[in-house]
């Protein structure tokens, strides 16, 4: 669904509700922000095609953070578009490329003996998913950096949900791509879900930081679009 001049929100069905990657474009660039759960590659490819683009023409994939529902189809997209550059915050790259264990996986591993059987099964699925999806980061990003593509993509460092989480502010359209830092509660913008937040206090500070921007609309990865 096109939401601004050069921005579309992709609606990708998942078992526990939809996820909403973002597509933005301009002057030789086609950028995918976040890449769904493992197994959703065909849905993502179809969604990109429905916006009038070829998945093979992706030039950048930007990841808001390390979680499996955001990195799941990166390798599939790279098989189609091998020249695409993968980007993430400098503090998040080590979890995505496999140098360190992703934080949610590490937390479950530390408590594995106390997990009920259904959570142990979920842990094994997560461990397999991450093991098969170690992704090289071509460019690490820092707070306040502006990528000179698609009207300007500003990196907004928003730790809390994970240590290196970022939001992306699309300057030309004033769209804030919120990853898991931003949610929508009763029609209002809200911060990260405390139950899934690595550092709740950091998450609160990051939410205040984001709200200071001049925002026309927000794409929340798990809630969809909110126009402000």
**Would you kindly state where each structural domain of the chain is located, as residue ranges?**
2-227
Residue 149 CA, distance from chain mean position: 18
pLDDT tens digits for 179-213?
999 999 999 999 999 888 889 999 999 999 999 99
Q: Are 67 and 180 in contact (CB under 8 A)?
A: yes
Residues 115-136: pLDDT tens digits?
Answer: 777 776 666 776 676 766 799 9
In CATH terms, is domain 2-227 a member of 1.10.3720.10? no
**Residues paired with residue 8 on neighbouring β-strands, in sequence order:** 2, 23
Average pLDDT, the chain: 93
CA atoms within 13 A on the CB side of 228: 18
Among the residue ranges 27-31, 42-46, 127-131, 167-171, the one predicted with the least confidence is 127-131
Q: Which residues contact 171 (CB under 8 A, 6 or more apart)?
A: 146, 151, 152, 153, 154
């Amino acid at each position: 669904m096109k939401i601004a001049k050069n921005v579309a929100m992709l609606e990708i069905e998942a078992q526990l509700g939809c996820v909403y990657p973002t597509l933005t474009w301009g002057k030789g660039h086609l950028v995918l922000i976040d890449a769904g759960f493992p197994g959703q590659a065909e849905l993502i490819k179809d969604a990109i095609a429905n916006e009038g683009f070829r998945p093979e023409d992706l030039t950048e994939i930007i990841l808001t953070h390390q979680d499996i529902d955001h990195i799941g189809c990166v390798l599939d997209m790279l098989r189609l578009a091998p020249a695409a550059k993968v980007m993430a915050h400098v503090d998040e790259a080590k979890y995505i490329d496999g140098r360190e264990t992703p934080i949610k996986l590490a937390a479950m591993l530390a408590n594995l003996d106390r997990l009920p059987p259904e959570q142990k099964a979920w842990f094994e699925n997560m461990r397999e998913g991450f093991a098969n999806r170690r992704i090289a980061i071509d460019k690490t990003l820092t707070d306040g950096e502006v990528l000179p593509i698609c009207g300007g993509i500003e990196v907004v460092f928003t730790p809390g949900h994970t240590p290196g989480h970022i939001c992306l502010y699309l300057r030309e359209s004033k769209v804030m791509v919120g990853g898991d830092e931003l949610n929508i509660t009763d029609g209002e913008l809200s911060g990260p879900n405390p139950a899934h937040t690595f550092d709740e206090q950091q998450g609160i500070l990051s939410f205040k930081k984001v709200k200071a921007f001049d925002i026309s609309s927000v794409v929340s990865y798990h809630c969809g679009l909110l126009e402000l």
